[in-house]
Copies of this chain bind each other. A is one copy, B any other.
């Protein structure tokens, strides 16, 4: 096709896409037509101009180029593109935003061409970074990853985290397309149409920048061509666009964000568009039929061995476990936020440097990257201090809508870290991860259970969180003990049990010490190690509740959303008296034992509580 013919067809496709955007949003009565119209040429040019390579019948093809709408509210454009590609009928398009339709308000993986759910701004670039990292360093495939970005969302710090890390890893297979349409939700953005403001910032972060008119197919196609020539760094195409482009009475006007046209306005707009050719469809180039580089699994796994060791920190057992199970799970990738010598991801890093990516102190991007890797079939283990997992809560929250297979590992949980003080103490992490739909929350008390649970986490497809402890802990379990997601261990049990005391992690040891003291006085308690906080072992807990009628939970975490409430929910319908020992005072610096005492979650407090309740 000649250049003129090519852009002529693209122009017609753009008109068709605009037609779909306008009619589907007016039919839905909500949505973001103006934010879709500004990026129409950019995306039509990408998909149907020959740059994008994608097997439309096999969205899962490992060598497909990847496209993520970080500005997820432009979903009408996304769906309309796939309609123009012949993969959605006009009738299907008209189900946009209706209950049961895969065409949700913001893109979700219910629609087969969506790589990852977006809609919370400033997340798409990190997800794409994970995919690009996968292509360049793991699968060794030539696919490219494209991210459509909005100008408003460039205010999010997560963007600059992704920007720096993408440059650091020289991701020349990552291409951002910045749709500078000047207007945010409630008015002008910080920089309006000043493209140079973006140019200098993005270039300073080590990216190639290409400035274009985002409505000129000539410039758009040339920009993609130019981006393909860039080597050793990612490229950002910075496009000046008009919000609402193509509909004169809403173009570049404030007050039209997230607003659809009324029926009569839509008719007027369609008249402006002119005749559209619905028989037209856009062709997308097929990718080369390449497969990911195969990893040859190593011959044999190391065995777990804690013989002779009295005390091992669970965080250390985490590192050991990753190395041990890697031959069984060669898709494991380790990401860490510049604390691998504390989380002990370091042990894995040293054994398999090619499977480790330093993510520096930028937790939001780390989680987005993990989601991108997970979307491409990897099993990312993401580690940092449990306290700092909170930094990425929005990314964690969003990933639940993309069928994630991400393993979070938070070290330095609770006041038991001691002297470093409250800023470093994870005390809300259980509440945070429990609140995620379908999540798994594991909290081992010794090295053996840690190793077993890391393996269970790797086996499980989904989002898991494993909480580890800074201090060394006595080995409790023999190496052939079995641990399952949703299980628990009844560590002490007799017919004379008067109260059930439930611990997890560091408090299991406190409960066991209290057990010994109480036993001396002829008082028997049932002791449960609740290593799986979610899902929770309802059967065992309900049995204990029925047997002892009184339950005490002990946790190194704030009371709300923690283990006490998890147990409470499990036995909610039973007539049991529940008592929660948890962190309830502002924690301080001090020795771990002093802090456990001060917060009344140590052996002493357990003894006191049990006696009070008898």
A-side interface residues toward B, CB under 8 Å?
A: 28, 30-31, 72, 97-101, 104-106, 108, 110, 117-122, 152-153, 155-161, 164, 168, 184-186, 189-190, 200-201, 203-205, 338-342, 346, 360-365, 387-388, 390-391, 393-394, 396-398, 400-401, 418-424, 427-428, 431-432, 434-437, 534, 558-562, 564-566, 568-569, 572-580, 584-586, 588-591, 594-595, 598
How far does the alpha carbon of A437 sit from the alpha carbon of B599 in the complex, in Å?
13
How far does the alpha carbon of A161 sit from the alpha carbon of B577 in the complex, in Å?
48
A186–B338 touching, CB < 8 Å: yes
B423–A398 touching, CB < 8 Å: yes
How many copies are assembled?
2
Q: Known contacts A120-B388, A157-B161, A568-B572; is A423 also within 8 Å of B589 by CB?
A: no
B588–A110 touching, CB < 8 Å: yes
Which residue of B161, B204, B423, B436 is within 8 Å of A428 (Cβ)?
A: B436
B120–A423 touching, CB < 8 Å: yes
How far does the alpha carbon of A338 sit from the alpha carbon of B364 in the complex, in Å?
20
List 7 additional contacts besides A152-B361, A397-B428, A432-B435; criterion CB under 8 Å. Answer: A104-B589, A108-B422, A108-B588, A120-B423, A155-B361, A186-B341, A387-B397
A106–B157 touching, CB < 8 Å: no
Collect the chain B residues with CB atoms within 8 Å of residue A31's CB.
419
Question: Which of A72, A99, A340, A586 has most B Cβ within 10 Å?
Answer: A99
Q: Known contacts A161-B157, A558-B435; is A98 also within 8 Å of B590 by CB?
A: yes
Which residue of B428, B577, B594 is within 8 Å of A572 (Cβ)?
A: B577
Q: Known contacts A108-B422, A573-B578, A578-B572; is A362 also within 8 Å of B157 by CB?
A: yes
A361–B121 touching, CB < 8 Å: yes
A101–B589 touching, CB < 8 Å: yes
- Complex: chain B residue closest to A157, CB-CB: B157
Collect the chain B residues with CB atoms within 8 Å of residue A200's CB.
204
Collect the chain B residues with CB atoms within 8 Å of residue A30's CB.
418-420
Question: Which of A396, A560, A565 has most B Cβ within 10 Å?
Answer: A560
Collect the chain B residues with CB atoms within 8 Å of residue A598's CB.
99
Q: Can you list 6 pairs linking A and B with CB atoms under 8 Å apart?
A: A99-B588, A105-B421, A155-B361, A401-B586, A428-B432, A560-B565
Q: Known contacts A573-B579, A577-B573; is A106 also within 8 Å of B568 by CB?
A: no
A40 to chain B, nearest CB (A): 21
A99–B586 touching, CB < 8 Å: no
